Structure 1
Amino acid sequence: MFARFNYYPRCPRPELVYGLKPHSDGAAITIVLPDKEVEGLQFLRDGRWVKIPVLPHALLINVGDQVEMMTNGMFKSPMHSAILSREHDRISLAMFCTPDAETEIEPASELIDESRPRLYKKVKNYARIYFHYYLGEKRPIDAVKL
């Protein structure tokens, strides 16, 4: 596990920038403690960006790429981004749960059959793959699809 505090300063023209560009999480599970007063997280759903409302003292649990791989695509790692506010600074805390780099990640054999073929390669050190593709136009998880 590792934690990251995120500080998003107010921005006079938030429509021109992201606080954090659209991405899926490379971890297995991400636990987020959002700002208790200022919204700023949005998820891509059916081709549209949906803002997550402020729920004070609530945790947001996000499935990451590694769970998508382990479930052979049954659970999807959602695309999301952080947006900025014109009026307010925002702070959040994200905890990333991920296996160590030497652990092999692959779809569970029980989730593969003739009607549902294997969708992902077996990989070690997904974090390395993730950050290699993160800055590009391609979703990192696409690099490990069969």
Structure 2
Amino acid sequence: MARLLELDDDDDGGILGQFGDKGSTTNARFNYYPACPRPELVLGIRPHSDVCVLTLLLADEHVAGLQFLRDGNWYRVPPVHGRAALLVNVGVSLEIMSNGIFKGPVHRVVTNSEKERMSLAMFYATDFEKEIEPIAELVDEKRPARYKKIKFRDLVAAHYEYFSRRERVIESLKI
């Protein structure tokens, strides 16, 4: 990612410098979605953006369920039958760090009427005490900072507050 942003990946002020002295935090979540006879009435997980830097998702190889929102339409992520698929999803934290170059997409999980679905999500984030902000090299007169500085701990708390209201926390951080 540092190379995509044309940053020195060893720079303390760059992407790695955003993780804090204590390093990163990683959380794993196993997801199980049982078959649901009326899936139109149930969402596995309602629309949201992940608050972390990156999410790595080992998706079910037989049953679709993950959908991404783009231009007002939901797009289904198809399963790769018989093969494990590792999906990489940008989080809100990386959207802030990249000054909006990378976007934390809105996505949801839907249930299936006939088949259960399982997945494993790994959430990679900064140290909870670290303040995240647009990386200095990505801010200039032509592209001013688009987001406020915020401690990751506060971002997580705000994320859940906004999620409960069906809103995106990133909107509250725009300058």
Q: Which range, TM-score by smaller chain?
A: over 0.9
**TM-score with structure 2 setting the length:** 0.81
Report the counterpart of residue 51 of structure 1 in structure 2: 76
Gaps of 5+ in 2: 1-25
Report the counterpart of residue 20 of structure 1 in structure 2: 45
Larger Rg: 2
Amino acid at match of 2:45: L
* 1:70 correspondence with 2:97: yes
Where in structure 1 do 4 or more consecutive aligned residues deviate above 2 Å?
Answer: none
Report the counterpart of residue 29 of structure 1 in structure 2: 54
Distance 1:135 1:5 in 2: 22
Shift of 1:137: 2.6
Q: What CA RMSD, in Å, does the superposition of the two structures yield over aligned residues?
A: 0.9
Greater mean deviation of Cα atoms: 106-115 or 128-137: 128-137
Report the counterpart of residue 134 of structure 1 in structure 2: 163
Amino acid at match of 1:131: Y
Deviation track 1:78-136 (CA, whole Å, cap 9, x = no partner) reads 00000000000101000000012101100011111122111111110121221121111
**TM-score with structure 1 setting the length:** 0.96
Distance 2:27 2:119 in 1: 14
Deviation track 1:10-63 (CA, whole Å, cap 9, x = no partner) reads 111111221100000001000000111101000011211000010221100000
Distance 1:99 1:127 in 2: 11
**1:59 aligns to what SS in structure 2?**
strand
